[in-house]
Amino acid sequence: MTTIAIKDGVMACDSKESYSDGMITSWDAWKVALHEDCYYGFCGSSHWITLAMDTIRNNGKLESLSPDIDLVFLRMPKKGKPSVVYLADGHLSQEDVTKNGYAIGSGMPYAMVAMSCGKSAVDAVKEAIKWDCFSGGKVRAYSFNKPEKKVKRLKTEVEVVPYDETN
């Protein structure tokens, strides 16, 4: 369970990881990966996410994975439009993220409402953490823009992860 939001060139996520039954496995999970000038933000089964990221890193086709895999993830390239990607029943589809932003995961409804009220992706994840029992921990933000300073508010730490051209 998780919350990942994207808006205005920033992808933000929480860091709480839990099983589907709610048992917390980590308060410091990394849910966004960088590969070839593109950030990928995943929610869902950790096993399926690992398979999908390995496929992406090896320049494979996600459609070749088991049709049992059902994933939704956000893709934010350094150049071009961000998109929400759906992998289900062996089929891959995607749609562009609008200027209003988009969110995925169990905290999606809360994050979407926050962004529709003008909040940033980071603030949207903070709002989701307040209301969604499956989201929590640190808020991490990713952007190809100039990184901002580390900020602390309302007991939620925001960790800004700068773009690293060596990856």
Determine, yes or no, domain membership for 24: yes
Determine, yes or no, domain membership for 130: yes
Determine, yes or no, domain membership for 166: no
59 lies in which domain range? Answer: 3-161
Distance CA(142)–CA(55), nearest Å, equals 22
pLDDT one-digit tens code per residue, 133-147: 888 899 999 998 865
What per-residue confidence (pLDDT) applies to 167? 46
Determine, yes or no, domain membership for 94: yes
Counting the structural domains of the chain, the total is 1
Q: How many CA atoms lie within 13 A of 95 on its CB side?
A: 8
Determine, yes or no, domain membership for 115: yes
Angle at 31 between CA 70 and CA 88, to 5 degrees: 10
Report yes or no on whether pTM surpasses 0.85: no
For residue 107, the domain's CATH number is 3.60.20.10
Terminal-residue alpha carbon distance, the chain: 27
Determine, yes or no, domain membership for 167: no
Distance CA(107)–CA(125), nearest Å, equals 8
Q: Average model confidence (pLDDT) for the chain?
A: 86
Q: Tell me, what DSSP letter sits at residue 45?
A: -
